[in-house]
Amino acid sequence: MIDKKISRKEPRITLVGAGPGDPELITMKGANALKNADVILYDALVNEGVLDYAGPNAIKVYVGKRSGEHSYGQDAINKLMIDYALNYGHVVRLKGGDPFVFGRGYEELDFAAGYSIPATVIPGLSSSISVPGLQQIPVTHRGLSESFWVVTGTTASGKISNDLYEAARSKATVVVLMGLGKLREIVKLFQNEGKGLLPVAAIQSGSTENEKLAVGVVDTIVEVVEEKGIEAPALLVFGQVVSLHPSFQPIRDFYEALKEEL
């Protein structure tokens, strides 16, 4: 009798950032990881076009988390990641943007370490920088902004992040992720700091075919967002850098003319 040994692949996990949405904005290293993956666990904010980089035999599992639909909790995702790694080999955990920017990437990394499964990270383009950049809005610019904040609009408890209160007081550019649903409350924070005329941009589905842009000032941005039909997923940019966008020029002209009249 010939003893045939069953070969099993060594379990390993790669956290990959898919970028802001456009499939071409994933890194080459991230695309190569997908090509070599046995299993891909991907989130709701990942453009499914990114999955075209996967090998023909890869198992693709949607584990997205969105309101209003069935979704996996983080504990369930962690367990799936381990189970697939132990049974199939190389698992790519594919996350929108960058895994470590509000992506809970370190939690998954730490969970894998608890099972002694090797895990590596391939960073992705964070929407906080790349989406404004694609609209030619820099998060920093000499003479306008020397730094920038990246803040979540809504915490796990459903409240506004305390950091937003501090961010509203600063002179830095403030990029708010997952904050569209709290826009009125966030606007109030800036108004309380006397920043009603601070330029603001709201960008929906940045880098994708569904991208929309609304530009205004703190005092008007709620109405402009409603008029433009901006919906989640969207990010907000508060700061003088927004004034560099071409569509802000008529707004600047309006307020300058208003000052002259007064």
Q: What is the set of active-site residues?
A: 43, 65, 178
Cα distances from 255 to residues 41, 43, 76, 143, 258, in angstroms, run 49, 43, 52, 21, 5
CA 32, CA 38: separation in Å to the nearest integer? 12
* CB-side neighbour CA atoms (13 Å) of 153: 23
DSSP states of 60-88? EEE----TTS----HHHHHHHHHHHHHHH
CA 240, CA 248: separation in Å to the nearest integer? 11
CA angle 174, 129, 237 (to 5 degrees): 30
Q: Which two tokens stand for residue 134?
A: 């694609």
CA 163, CA 181: separation in Å to the nearest integer? 17
Which residues lie below 8 Å from residue 1, measured CB to CB, with a gap of 6+?
none
At residue 253, the 3 state secondary structure works out as: helix
DSSP states of 114-169? TTT--EEEE----HHHHHHHHTT--S-BTTTBS-EEEEESS-TTSSPPTHHHHHHH
CA 160, CA 209: separation in Å to the nearest integer? 30
